[in-house]
Amino acid sequence: MSAVTDTVATAAPANPISQSFRDSLVVAKRNLIRMTRIPEMVIFGLIQPIMFVVLFSYVFGGSMQIGGSTSPEAYRNFLMAGIFAQTVTFATAGAGAGIADDMHKGLIDRFRSLPMARGAVLTGRTLADLVQTALTVFVLAIVALLVGWRVGSNGDTNAGKVLAAFGLLLLTGYAFTWIGALIGLSVRTPEAATSGGLIWLFPVTFISNAFVDTTHMTPWLRHIAEWNPFSATVQACRTLFGNPGVSPSDAWPMAHPVWASLIYSVVIIVIFRTLAVRKYRSATA
């Protein structure tokens, strides 16, 4: 007589890191598909930075003194790094509004019922926003070339440095989307997330070296502008693009802008990703 025994094979638990990575890609794919089905999201995201390029280039181009020159060409070359940086940071509002909308519609509750990493929902959303930001920057660069922007206008550069500048821009944009994620989790409606995502960005972008030389500011305001993380990215891009920059400064971020931009971005990601994931867990507990 023989006994028949049934054995149940149990799968080994998945590696938490690899599972989080896969889940993040799934969520990112979901958001990218959603963007293709709502093309006006991408189109409206492109219109605003293009308007900034055209308006600032032609309205202020002949009245700003950059490096002793008031020519429109000099200001356009000075301006574009600031416009690029402003564009990637303004993606913060869209990230916050998107997450707030998912919370408002109950989509986050559906994700909770799935066996997936908690942080993957936010990581996937921010990765999808990064892809949209990259597309916006690409189109913006084409428009900038059409209005007269040129790399290497005031120094040596090469393709590697130009790509590094765009890489820094995307890293900065990705860092700021985590701020938007925290805002989106902290408010009740997408409208509030949009307002909350923009209201603090205006002083950050305008109290900087993005649109004017900081030497024209009062000393205390110049000090704030030179230590502004946004200014570090702008100055780093001008250095890598070979475009004219602000006047020499003793402030460490302005003397070492590439390193300063990298450090600022990493610190922002670490801090605000931690806070956003913690907020997400408490909000969906």
Distance CA 50, CA 29 (A): 27
Average pLDDT over residues 224-228: 94
Residue 166: pLDDT above 90? Answer: yes
Task: Indicate the domain borders of the chain.
Answer: 17-283
Residue 66: pLDDT above 90? Answer: no
Residue 225: pLDDT above 70? Answer: yes
How does residue 284 score in pLDDT terms, banded at 50, 70 and 90?
low
pTM: 0.86
pLDDT of residue 222: 93
Q: Is 8 exposed, middle or buried (0-12, 13-18, 19+ CB in 10 A)?
A: exposed
How does residue 68 score in pLDDT terms, banded at 50, 70 and 90?
low
Q: CA angle at residue 199 from 196 to 205, to 5 degrees?
A: 130
String of DSSP letters for 241-273: HT---PPP--SHHHHSHHHHHHHHHHHHHHHHH
Which of the two residues, 27 and 226, has the higher pLDDT score?
226
Residue 280: pLDDT above 50? Answer: yes
Give whichever of 88-92, 188-192, 252-256 has the largest mean pLDDT: 252-256
Q: How many CA atoms lie within 13 A of 109 on its CB side?
A: 5
Are 277 and 118 a contacting pair, CB within 8 Å? Answer: yes
Which of the two residues, 28 and 118, has the higher pLDDT score?
28
pLDDT of residue 2: 45
pLDDT of residue 229: 95
Average pLDDT over residues 214-228: 91
pLDDT of residue 70: 63
Any idea which residue has 């007269």 for tokens? 148
What confidence tens digit (pLDDT) does each residue in 97-135 have? Answer: 888 887 777 776 677 667 777 778 888 889 988 998 999
pLDDT of residue 62: 60
Q: What is the mean pLDDT of the chain?
A: 83
Q: Torsion over CA of 91, 273, 80 and 65, rounded to 10 degrees?
A: 110
pLDDT of residue 13: 47
Closest to 204 measured CA to CA, from 48, 45, 86: 86
